């Protein structure tokens, strides 16, 4: 999308992460569309101050110069149920990058791509509107993470009028259908810890006048409901709301939008996420999300998670958002950031999955992945 657009690229074609999208076979398994990231092993040294999957993910958005297309607290939070102590983030075993590595063991780029991207945990995206099997597909990811004692990251991305009709357009046909889809999504979350990234761009972009006042209010009511439903279904679920990124709305403006969408209530929210599919430096996003949380109000337990997948060199100075040259991997995914109110650094967008300029949107590009990782 353009510099002022949303965080995601063309959905289904370019969703930047492991995406559990319906494979049309009628089965209830989570099958990532494009990419995802695995495991908590530290990355080999990568030049950068910060840290990224593809298939249903946003593209850089707004003004990341700044793209955007595109979420305890570094420690485990106390929940209402007794549960296992989780050692780290979950890596879903089905992704484009893992398939490429397995199919190309002799490629001279394979070892770098494997160790720095494929072996890292990344988000799993649910971006297709398929109410018939969404519960089983979400359950497959949540239960696999729980079985390993690790925390899955799942992205709900089917809001109606997604991306305001831009490159990532799609979603549920209407909000009633969306609410029903959310009920089914929540039913698959299980009872163990899971991080939910709720609708990238859906709040930040709503401030760009692509929705009428009434449409915006209805969307925000559905998002507030979504968080409540998920946390009622699984009290150990950590639900994060869209804060855009540091080059989009001001902290006070974004906080006002978030408040209308229920993000200040502990009944529906654990805080906010930022920088999805974007390139802004971690330090800028840490400062920005803290300002958003301060303006938002709500309980002190609210925190932020930041997409660090491709922000190692920061955003391009020329504002290019589509697979810009010179970008690097950011900080490896972790639940231990060492920063107050910053719950996690996550790879929500999977590095190496194209925004559409180094390949078909959402496709894994080994050339692009290697550029990011070397």
- Please give the positions annotated as active site: 163, 201, 355
Q: How far is CA 316 from CA 3, 98, 224, in A?
A: 11, 28, 34
E strands of the chain, at which residues?
Answer: 18-19, 88-89, 124-126, 150-151, 153-156, 194-198, 237-242, 271-274, 303-307, 342-346
Rounded Cα distance between 49 and 149, Å, is 28
| Neighbour tally for 364: CB within 10 Å | 27
Q: How far is CA 301 from CA 74, 75, 96, 153, 293, in A?
A: 12, 12, 36, 19, 10
Rounded Cα distance between 81 and 289, Å, is 28
| Neighbour tally for 72: CB within 10 Å | 17
Rounded Cα distance between 235 and 163, Å, is 30
Task: For residue 310, give the nearest of 273, 339, 350 by alpha carbon.
Answer: 350
Contact criterion met (CB below 8 Å) for 348 and 307: yes
């Amino acid at each position: 999308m353009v510099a002022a657009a949303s965080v995601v690229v063309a959905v289904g074609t370019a969703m930047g992460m492991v995406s559990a999208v319906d494979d049309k076979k009628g089965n209830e398994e989570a099958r990532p569309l494009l990419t995802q990231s695995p495991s908590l092993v530290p990355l080999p040294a990568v030049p950068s101050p910060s840290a990224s999957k593809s298939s249903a993910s946003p593209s850089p958005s707004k003004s990341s110069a700044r793209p955007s297309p595109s979420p305890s607290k570094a420690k485990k939070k106390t929940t209402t149920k007794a549960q296992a102590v989780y050692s780290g983030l979950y890596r879903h075993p089905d992704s484009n990058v893992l398939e490429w590595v397995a199919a190309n063991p002799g490629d001279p780029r394979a070892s770098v791509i494997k160790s720095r991207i494929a072996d890292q945990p990344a988000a799993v995206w649910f971006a297709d509107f398929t109410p018939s099997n969404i519960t089983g597909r979400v359950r497959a990811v949540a239960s696999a993470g729980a079985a390993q004692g690790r925390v899955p990251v799942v992205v709900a991305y089917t809001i109606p009028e997604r991306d305001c009709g831009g490159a990532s357009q799609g979603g549920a046909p209407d909000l009633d259908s969306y609410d029903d889809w959310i009920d089914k999504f929540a039913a698959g979350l299980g009872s163990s810890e899971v991080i939910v990234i709720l609708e990238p761009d859906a709040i930040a972009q709503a401030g760009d006048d692509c929705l009428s006042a009434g449409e915006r209010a209805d969307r925000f009511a559905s998002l507030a409901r979504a968080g409540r439903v998920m946390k009622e279904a699984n009290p150990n679920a950590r639900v994060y709301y869209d804060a855009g990124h540091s080059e989009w709305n001001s902290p006070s403006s974004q906080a006002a939008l978030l408040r209308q969408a229920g993000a200040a209530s502990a009944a529906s929210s654990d805080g906010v996420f930022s920088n999805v599919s974007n390139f802004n430096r971690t330090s800028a996003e840490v400062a920005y999300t803290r300002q958003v949380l301060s303006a938002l109000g709500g309980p002190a337990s609210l925190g932020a998670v930041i997409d660090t997948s491709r922000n190692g060199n920061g955003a391009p100075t020329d504002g290019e958002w589509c697979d810009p040259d010179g970008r690097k991997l950011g900080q490896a995914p972790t639940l231990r950031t060492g920063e107050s109110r910053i719950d996690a650094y996550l790879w929500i967008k999977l590095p190496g999955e194209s925004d559409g300029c180094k390949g078909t949107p959402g496709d894994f590009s080994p050339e692009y992945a290697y550029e990011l990782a070397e």
